[in-house]
Amino acid sequence: MSEIFPTPPSTDAETPMEKDPLDHEVCLCFHVSIRKMQHFIEREKPTVPSQLSQCLDAGTGCRWCVPFLCKMHRQWKAGEAMDLPVSPEEYAERRGAYRRAGVKNDRLDSIPPLAD
Ligand code: FES
């Protein structure tokens, strides 16, 4: 029987598969990954950050991710790679704390105001 249905290769629990950084979600409410946002930005060429909400409603839920969406827009305009400043786990943890407290109190949101 095992010859007909060979045992699939085991996954190594010690080395879990790393997620592609572009698959990390920038908007956790609407599951918008960095990759989706990158493609949206490159296709639509938004002139202001608020237009990023047209990408699967990003930023219109709890609004915690709005500073990060603004940062991504700023990075794109500067020709820089779009990324998040923290790990996905920390990002989700901080957003959870924000939602529990109901108060935005995160040093990561102290991103300089937009120049335009
Ligand atoms: S994480 Fe984006 S709106 Fe809540």
Give the pLDDT score at 100.
87
Q: Residue 16: its pLDDT value, please?
A: 56
User: How far is ligand 1, taken at its centre, from the CA of residue 57, in Å?
Assistant: 9
Contact 52 CB / ligand 1 (< 6 Å):
no
* Predicted local distance difference test score (pLDDT) of residue 83: 83
| Calpha distance 116→47 (Å, rounded) | 10
Tell me the β-bridge partners of 27: 32
Ligand 1 pocket check: which of 56, 64, 86, 100 to mutate, most ligand atoms within 8 Å of Cβ?
64
> Mapping DSSP to helix (H, G, I), strand (E, B) and coil, where does residue 31 land?
coil
Q: Is residue 77 one of the residues assigned to a domain?
A: yes
| 115 within a domain of the structure (yes/no) | no
| Cα(25) to centroid(ligand 1), Å | 10
DSSP annotation of 27 reads E
The 10s digit of each residue's pLDDT in 8-53 is: 555 554 455 678 889 999 999 999 999 999 999 999 999 999 999 9
Q: Is residue 106 part of a domain?
A: no
pLDDT tens by residue, 59-82: 999 999 999 999 999 999 999 998
Residue 116 lies in a domain: no
- CA 89, 95, 98, 104 dihedral sign is positive
pLDDT in tens, 75-108: 999 999 988 878 899 899 989 988 888 765 555 5
Give how many domains the chain has, as a whole number: 1
If you measure from the C-alpha of residue 6 to the centroid of ligand 1, how many angstroms do you get, rounded to a whole number?
A: 44
With tokens 């990324």, the residue in question is: 83
Amino acid letter, 30: F
Calpha distance 58→23 (Å, rounded): 15
Confidence at residue 2, expressed as pLDDT on a 0 to 100 scale: 46
Q: Is the pLDDT of residue 110 over 60?
A: no
Is 30 part of a structural domain of the chain?
yes
pLDDT value of residue 14:
47
Answer yes or no: is the C-beta of 55 below 6 A from any ligand 1 atom.
Answer: no
The CA angle 43-45-51, to the nearest 5 degrees, is 105
- Does residue 84 form part of some domain? yes
Structural domain range at position 58: 22-100
* pLDDT for res 114: 36
